[in-house]
Structure 1
Amino acid sequence: MPSQRTGPPASAEPIDPDTGLSASPRRREPRLPHYTVLGVIAVGGALGAVARYGASRLWPAGTDGFPWATLTVNAVGCLVIGVFLVVVSEVFSAHRLLRPFFATGVLGGFTTFSTYCVDIVRLVDSGRAGPALAYLAATLVAAMAAVSAGAWSTRRVVAKWGER
C-alpha cells in the first residue's frame, strides 16, 4: 500500500513558514528573543564565510583569471539550500533555530553574491566584458539549476525511501 504523503504536492516549492504564507496552520510557539536568532545566524554566517574563504584560497582566481571558485561556491550553496529546505519543510520538523543557523547563517555566509558582483566589475575593468557577461549569466543559470536540482532530487529520494 502506498504511503500517505502529508506535505505539499511534489510540484510545490518549499514555503518558508516564517513568512506566514504556509497553506497549513502553524502551531503557536513562544517567540525566541531576537538576540538568540541573530546569534545563531551570526555564528552560522561566520562558519559559512570561513568555508568560502577556504575555497577561495584553495582555488584562487588571480588578477585576470575567471572566478571559478566563486561560481562553484554559489552553485554548491544553492544546491544545498534546495536539499535542506525540502528536508526541513517536507520530511521532518526541525528545531526552530536550525533554519536561521544553517540556511541564513551558514549558507548565507558561504554563498557570496557580493563577491560575484565585485568579480563582474573586476572583469569589466580589466577589459574582459565578454567573460564578465558569461560569468553573470552562468552564475544565475547555475544557481537556479542547482536549487531546482537539489529540491527535485531530494523529493525523489524521499519518495523512494517512503516506498520501502
Structure 2
Amino acid sequence: MQLQILIGVALGGALGALGRYVMVSQVSHAFGPWLGGFPLGTLSVNVLGSFAMGLLVEAFALAWSPPEALRAFLTVGLLGAFTTFSTFSMEAVLLYERGALLPAAGYIGASVVLSITGFVAGLALVRAVVA
C-alpha cells in the first residue's frame, strides 16, 4: 500500500472526525431544546455525508479522475470519518444498481440489525462484567 494513500486517509479521517464533532455539536446546540433528544445532529451528518459521497462517486465516474491518494482522502478518510453511513449508502446503492437486489436488501437489513445487535451485546457484556 502506498504511503501517500495512507497519509491521505489519515489526514482525511482527522478532518472528517473534527467536522462530524463540530456539526453534531452545533446542530444539537441549535435545535436540541425543541427536539426532545432526537439525534438531529447525527442524522444531519449522515445525510450530508451520503449526499457528498454520491456527488464524489458520480464525479469520479463521469467527469473527474483525481489521483488515488486524493480519492482515498475524500472518500475513505474525510467522509468515512464524517460518517460511515455514507459508505454504507454507496455500497447499498451500488449493489442495487448492479441488479443485485437480494444482496442489497440483505446488506441493508443485516447492517442495521447486526449493528444494533452488536451495540446491545457490547452494552450487555460491560454491564455483566461491571455489575
Bin for the TM-score computed over the shorter chain: 0.5 to 0.7
TM-score by length of 2: 0.56
Show the counterpart of 1:116: none
Greater percentage in helix: 2
1:3-41 Cα deviation digits (max 9, x unpaired): xxxxxxxxxxxxxxxxxxxxxxxxxxxxxx433211110
Show the counterpart of 1:59: 27
1:96-122 Cα deviation digits (max 9, x unpaired): 211100011000011155xxxxxxxxx
Counterpart-to-counterpart distance in 1, 2:73 and 2:2: 13
1:50 aligns with 2:24: no
The alignment of Structure 1 onto Structure 2 pairs a total of residues equal to: 85
Contact (CA 8 Å) 2:49, 2:79: kept in 1 or not? yes
Structure exhibiting the larger radius of gyration computed from Cα positions: 1
Counterpart-to-counterpart distance in 2, 1:34 and 1:79: 28
After TM superposition, list the pairs within 5 Å mapping 1:1-164 onto structure 2.
Answer: 33-60=1-28, 65-112=37-84
Contact (CA 8 Å) 2:13, 2:76: kept in 1 or not? yes
SS of residue paired to 2:65: coil
Question: Structure 2: any 5+ residue segments left out of the alignment?
Answer: 95-131
Q: How far 1:58 sits from its partner (Å)?
A: 0.6
Runs of 4+ displaced beyond 3 Å: none
Question: Structure 1: any 5+ residue segments left out of the alignment?
Answer: 1-32, 114-139, 149-164
Counterpart-to-counterpart distance in 2, 1:94 and 1:101: 11
Show the counterpart of 1:158: none
Q: Which amino acid aligns with 1:79?
A: F
Percent identity at matched positions? 38
TM-score by length of 1: 0.46
Q: How far 1:66 sits from its partner (Å)?
A: 0.8
